Amino acid sequence: MSQGIKTFKGIPQAIMRRLRSTPTYFFLIWRWGTWLYALALYLTTRAQFNVALPFLTLTFVHSLVITLYAPVFQIFLPGLPGLPRGNKADMVGQNERQVHERQRRRFWGRSMLRPLAAYEETDILTPLIHTRNRYWNIAIYSLDVVICGLVVYFTAPYWTPPFGIGSPFYRYGLSAILIAAFTYRYLGGLLALLGYSLFILLGAFFPPPGTPHFVPQVQDLLQSLIDAPFIALIAAYVAALLNDYSRNKRREQDNVRRLRSFRRFGETLVMGASDGQRLLQQSAEEIRRGGHFEHLVVALAANVDDGEMGRNAEGDKITSPEIDSYIESGRLEIEEPFDSISGRLQQVAQSREKLMMFERLSSERSPGIARLYMPIFKEGQVYMVLGVEHTRQTPFEWRHEEFLAIVGAQLVVALENLRLTEQMVELAAEAERGRIAREMHDGVAQLIYMMRLNTETCAVLVERIANTSEEEAQILAPLAERLNNLETISRQALLETRDYMFTLKPLVHGTTTLTQMLTNQLHEFEVISGLPVRLEVDGVEESLNGDRRRTRKTAQVGTAIFRITQEALSNAYKHAGATQIQVSLHHRPRSVEVEISDNGKGLDSAVHSNGHRTEQEHPPIYSGHGIPGMRERAEELGGTFEITQAPTGGVSVKVCIPT
């Protein structure tokens, strides 16, 4: 491979894309080539050299300034004074304002070329770099036409034929039409053509004073007036073709990048489908990379019924979405408190409308922070909010909104599939536990119950025989004592079997309420233990209205209340020797409270009111058995647990859990 080919292939792809979309080099080659042609022509004809020397100098300076003002010059020489040097890492630790002021600096008052990313297709660059003031741009291009026209006007009469191809600067002046057509397409080329042709006609019929007398020829003027329109049309057409090519290329690249992003995002959803938190974290990272965002927030919303929103046309309660949890990926160079981000997330969730913002960092010419927050819906409710931020020159566009809408919908589907999968596993486990509970009820529980009945019957028969004579009573006394103990053991075995059955089978399902669960539980306890239990219910249970989060919380609270009551009843029966138990259930606006009281022996002297034993070990009376478990159940849900002893005897277990 030749050295030239190696050098050509060593040019960075960003520079090649710049050159491909920059018609400047056409114009520069034309202008410098025609200037060199004029110089050579004047050097071969010494007669007019003294007259042309000032115009050669003027056009040289003019061409040099235009060259330095062209974007091609920045492409090949990016290290000029005034252009940004160094990479992003070199700026770490500097003041943010100084960094952005450094990025805003201009070379000779013109806009700098922004850096191209590896994936980005450049816009069509004009022959001369545009400023942000369109009137200043028009003045620059108009001045170029005027300068070229004046040079032709004052130099053409010294040549024969005076105007047209005979003039050394005629072709030089055509470059002004070329750059105007490249920049403003057909309209710009037409206006530059009219201005340049005006100077030619003015010089043909009103030549400058002091120039040789000549008679204008029609064919020379026609040739001059034909070349310029042809150049304008060709330049405008080429610029339009380049613009269409660049637009189509960018659209094609965007589509390819989007398809790749969707493919990677889909793979992420499949790979992380077993863990919700991991799925959210990986999805957030992939969305940020796929959309080329600096910072991304994925916030999940929970729809809460605050009782004041009213009802919609279908009669359903209107819920108010609140941000439940969020995942972040990436960060901006200039960080801000998350309270501001959280406020915007909550605003979007409440308003159900997207929020698009663009904040300049310092001045109108500096880059800014573009922000876009979009709500993602499921069944008419706000399911999540996606928020993205990026430092850029312009606000986010429709394609960014479309990208977030598509990936957001896919993420909702993945999260819902994961939730349904977990729910299916839970239902399967509940079904299996229910089956085992039914087997225990129909098998072991029935056998223990029959054993208890037979033991009670035998005890009654022994008692009747013993009552016939004292001799029989003395002989049967040990047997009667063992039968009574066996009856007590069978009763406790049946109670524990029932407890295991209640532990296995699902508690909160369908439309079952906490009051119904406790009622069934106390009825079972009364039948087995023979102890009377009184239930008092205060307040009304809150309706869930299909709120998933409240349903899950209510199920957790109901299960904890049920298990704590079950343990307290078991302790009262086994250890306290109680003859009467009272259960009070209170439904508060933000909590549920249950209190189990008995009239038994009370607490062990070694057990404090907080449920902890002292260092001495005593046999359990009430007893401290199961008290740590009851306390843990309450505190896991943010509740309180209290166990006290009445002055007259008996124990009261009080639990309050927030809902």
Q: Are residues 209 and 137 in the same domain?
A: yes
Is the pLDDT confidence value at 461 over 70? yes
Asked whether the beta carbons of 544 and 551 are under 8 A apart, the reply is yes
Look at residue 275 and tell me whether its pLDDT is greater than 90: no
Coil, helix or strand at residue 321: strand
Note the pLDDT of residue 545.
55
Q: Which of 8-12, 219-223, 492-496 has the highest mean pLDDT?
A: 492-496
Q: How confident is the model at residue 616 (pLDDT cuts 50, 70, 90)?
A: very low
Asked whether residue 350 is domain-assigned, the answer is: yes
644 and 564 fall within a common domain: yes
Average pLDDT over residues 613-629: 49
pLDDT at 559 over 80: yes
Q: What is the largest CA-CA distance in the chain?
A: 167
Closest CA to 56 of 185, 168, 197, 220: 168
Whole-number Cα distances in Å, 486 to 454, 467, 534? 10, 21, 28
Same domain for 497 and 588, yes or no, is no
Task: Report the range of poorest mean pLDDT among 44-48, 96-100, 310-314, 475-479.
Answer: 96-100
CA 408 to chain CA mean position, Å: 8
Same domain, 324 and 388: yes
**Does residue 417 share a domain with residue 343?**
yes
pTM (2 d.p.): 0.56
The single-letter code of the amino acid at 4 is G
What was the pLDDT predicted at 297? 92
Which tokens hold the place of 187? 């309209």
The answer to whether residue 600 sits within a structural domain is yes
Q: Which of 68, 132, 125, 142 is nearest to 104 (CA)?
A: 132
Confidence check: pLDDT of 14 > 80: no
The total number of structural domains in the chain stands at 4
The confidence score (pLDDT) of residue 122 equals 54
For residue 650, give the nearest of 580, 602, 581 by alpha carbon. 602
Q: In this predicted model, what pLDDT tens digit does every residue of 20-39 receive, in sequence order? A: 555 667 778 888 998 998 88
HEC assignment per residue over 493-558: HHHHHHHHHHHHCCCCCCCCCHHHHHHHHHHHHHHHHCCCEEEEEECCCCCCCCCHHHHHHHHHHH
The CATH number that applies at residue 360 is 3.30.450
CA 303 to chain centre: 19
Q: Do 588 and 540 form a contact (C-beta atoms < 8 A)?
A: no
Listed in sequence order, the residues at least 6 apart from 200 whose beta carbon sits closer than 8 Å to its beta carbon are 149, 152, 153, 156, 163, 221, 224, 225
pLDDT confidence bin for 655, thresholds 50/70/90 = very high
Whether the CB-CB separation of 579 and 572 falls below 8 Å is answered with: no
Name the more confident of 577 and 161. Answer: 577
Give the C-alpha separation, 450 to 321, whole Å. 56
Note whether residue 259 is domain-resident. no
Q: pLDDT tens, 305-346?
A: 544 444 545 555 556 788 878 889 888 877 777 778 888 888
Containing 530, the helix (H) or strand (E) segment is none
**CA–CA gap between residue 240 and residue 630 (Å, rounded):** 79
Task: State whether 469 and 411 are in the same domain.
Answer: no
- Rounded distance, CA 512 to CA 517, Å? 7
| Secondary structure class of 655 (helix, strand, coil) | strand
The pLDDT > 70 percentage for the chain reads 75
Q: What is the mean pLDDT of residues 15-21?
A: 55
- Looking at this protein, which amino acid is placed at residue 151? V
Gap between the Cα atoms of 365 and 439, Å rounded? 78
Please give the pLDDT value at position 65. 84
Do 378 and 497 lie in a common domain?
no
Q: Locate 492 and state its tokens.
A: 């406790």
pLDDT of residue 613: 42
- Same structural domain for residues 211 and 327? no
Side-chain-side CA neighbours of residue 604 (13 Å): 20
> Is 17 contained in some domain?
yes
More confident residue, 198 or 429: 198
- Cα distance between residue 136 and residue 139, in whole Å: 5
263 inside domain = no
How far, in Å, CA of 58 to CA of 51, rounded? 12
Q: Is the peptide bond before 161 cis (omega within 30 degrees of 0)?
A: yes
State whether 550 and 654 are in the same domain. Answer: yes
Domain end marker among 476, 505, 534: 505
Q: What average pLDDT score do residues 612-629 get?
A: 49
Domain boundary pick from 186, 221, 248: 248
Coil/strand/helix, residue 275: coil
Average pLDDT, the chain: 76
pLDDT band, residue 617 (cuts 50/70/90): very low
For the cut 80, the answer to whether the pLDDT of residue 115 exceeds it is no
Domain at 659, CATH number: 3.30.565.10
Name the percent of the chain in helix, strand, coil, to the closest 5. Answer: 60, 15, 30
Average pLDDT of span 62-74: 76
When pLDDT is cut at 50, 70 and 90, the band that residue 296 belongs to is very high
Q: How many CA atoms lie within 13 A of 412 on its CB side?
A: 20
Q: Is the pLDDT of residue 644 over 80?
A: yes
> Which of 135-144, 333-342, 431-440 has the highest mean predicted lDDT (pLDDT)?
135-144
pLDDT in tens, 510-554: 567 888 888 888 887 887 777 889 999 988 877 655 556 667 778
pLDDT tens, 370-426? 999 999 998 888 999 999 998 887 889 888 898 999 999 988 888 888 888 888 887
Amino acid 513: pLDDT: 80
**Per-residue model confidence (pLDDT) at position 575:** 77
Average pLDDT over residues 605-632: 52
Query: Lowest-confidence range among 74-83, 121-130, 313-322, 647-656?
Result: 74-83
The reported pLDDT for the residue numbered 374 is 93
Range of the domain at 580: 510-659
Structural domain contains residue 118: yes
Question: Are 221 and 163 spatial neighbours (Cβ–Cβ below 8 Å)?
Answer: yes
Same domain, 402 and 499: no
Q: Which of 197, 232, 248 is the last residue of a domain?
A: 248
**Bridge partners (DSSP) listed for residue 583:** 535, 596
- Distance (Å, whole) CA 172 – CA 196: 11
- Whether 543 maps to a domain, the answer reads yes
Q: Is the domain of 153 the same as that of 242?
A: yes
The answer to whether 51 touches 155, Cβ cutoff 8 Å, is yes
Q: Is the same domain home to 382 and 470? A: no
Give domain status of residue 264, yes or no.
Answer: no
Average pLDDT over residues 47-75: 77
**Over 80: is that where the pLDDT of 572 sits?**
yes
Residue 89 has pLDDT above 50, yes or no: no
